Amino acid sequence: MPVEPGPSRTASIPRIPSLDGLRALSIFLVLALHTLQRFSLSHHVGFMWYAIFDGATGVHIFFVISGYLITSLLLNEQQKRGSISMRGFYLRRAMRILPPLYAYVAVMVLLGWAGRLVLNRVDILSALFFVHNYISVVMWSLEHFWSLSTEEQFYLIWPAVLLFCLRKRGVAGRLAAGKIALAVILVSPFVRVYCYRFAANTYVHDPYGFHYNADCLMFGCIVALLQGTPRFERVYAFATRIWWIPPAVILLSDTLQARFLNYWQMPFGFTVCGTGIAFFLLWCVRNPTSAVGRILNARPIVHIGVLSYSIYLWQTLFLNYDNVPVFGQSLKLLTIFPFSWLAILAVAELSFYLVERPSLHLRNRLIRGFHLYASRRQRTETPQ
C-alpha cells in the first residue's frame, strides 16, 4: 500500500476523498437489505445473507460519515475565520436537506389523495419536523425517515456542543469535545440495554430513537477531533496495520448480529461496528490511491454517492412489500428486482437534477450574498 498523507491534509481538501464512495457503499447495503427482506417473504434466506447485506451497517456508515464531515467542516471554519457561524451552518443544512425531502413528501401526499396510499397526519408532520424516530409509524412510505430524523437531531445538538468546547483555544478545545464524544460512546451500550430491556415507555424503548444511535455519530466526530494527536495516531496505526482489519471486524459483528440479533447488537454490536467503520473511513480518506481508494473514488461510484440522499428518500417507495397498490398491475414490474433498482436510480437522478442541485445553487448564491452584505456593512462601520 502507498504511504498515506498526513492527518492535516484532509482539512484543506474541498471534497474529502472516498466519502462519496463510502456513501455509495452504505446506500447499496440499505437497498440490498430491503430487497432481501422482500425476497424472504416467499423464499428461505440464510442468516449469512443478512450478515453480508446488513442495511443497519449501511445506516451506521451514513451516521459516521455525518459525524466526521460535519465536525471537520466546523473545525475548518473555526480555524479559518476564528469563529463558527451557526446561522450559516443551519442555512447550508436546510438548503441541502429540506427541498428534496419536501418534494418526496409532497408526492406521497398526492398519492394519498389519489387513493394509492394511506395518509396519516402525525406521520407527515413528524417526518417534516424530524421527530419521526419517536413515533409509531403508520405510513410505510415514510418509515425510513427515522434515520434522517436522527441525523437532524444531531445537527441541532452537536454544533452547539462543539462551539461551547471550542471556547478553549487550540488542541484543548478539540480534546474537550472529544471527551464528550467518547463519553457518549462509552455510555450508549448501557443506555441501549436498559431502554430495550426495562423501559416501559414506547418512545424510550423504540430502537430507532436518537438515544440508541448517538454513539454511531460520535465515532465520526471523535475521529475528526482527535486525528493528528499522538495517542489517537498510535491507536489508528495499530487498528489499520493491515488495511482489511476494520472491514473484517465489521463483517464479524454483522455475522454475530444476524445470528444473535439484539443480544449482540445492543450491548456490543453498535460499538464494535462503529469502531470498525470509523477507522476504515479514516483509512479510506487517507489512502485514495490504494486499490480500495481507486474503487471508492471511481467516477460511477462517486456519482452514486452524490445521488445517495435522493436514493435514500425514494428507495422505500419501490422496495417496500406494501407498495403494489401504488403502482397497480400495469406497473408492477417496478416493484421487482432489478427493475425496482433501475426505477430508484432514475427517480433519484430526476430528484437530484430538478430539486437537489438547484437548491444547492440557490444556497451558494445566498451565502455569497450574505458574505457580500457583511463585508460592505463592515466597511461602512469602520471609522475612516
pLDDT at 105 (0 to 100): 96
User: Has residue 319 got a pLDDT over 70?
Assistant: yes
Of the candidate ranges 84-98, 160-174, 297-311, 368-382, the one whose mean pLDDT is the lowest? 368-382
Compute how many other C-beta atoms are within 10 angstroms of the C-beta atom of residue 5. 15
pLDDT at 1 over 80: no
When mean pLDDT is compared over 82-96, 134-148, 198-212, 282-296, the highest value belongs to 282-296
Q: Which helix (H) or strand (E) holds 302?
A: helix 299-319
For residue 11, is pLDDT > 60? no
Chain-wide mean pLDDT for the chain? 90
Plot region of 279 (φ>0 → left; ψ -120 to 50 → alpha; else → beta):
alpha
* pLDDT at 28 > cutoff 60: yes
Q: Which residue has the cell 450574498?
A: 369
Q: What is the reported pLDDT for 88?
A: 86
The pLDDT value given to residue 245: 95
Contacts of 254 (CB under 8 A, 6+ apart): 50, 51, 52, 54, 57, 273
What is the per-residue pLDDT for 5?
Answer: 41
pLDDT of residue 384: 53
pLDDT band at 329 (very low <50, low <70, confident <90, very high): confident
CA 73-251-33 angle, to 5 degrees, is 80
Predicted pLDDT of residue 94: 92
Q: What's residue 13's pLDDT?
A: 41
Residues in the chain: 384
3-state secondary structure of 168: coil
Q: Answer whether residue 268 shows pLDDT above 90.
A: yes
Look at residue 179 and tell me whether its pLDDT is greater than 80: yes
Mean pLDDT value of segment 176-190: 96
Residue 213 has pLDDT above 90, yes or no: yes
pLDDT digit string, tens, across residues 345-377: 999 999 999 999 999 888 888 777 766 666 666
Burial label for 41, CB within 10 Å (0-12, 13-18, 19+), is exposed
Quick one: average pLDDT of 293-314?
96
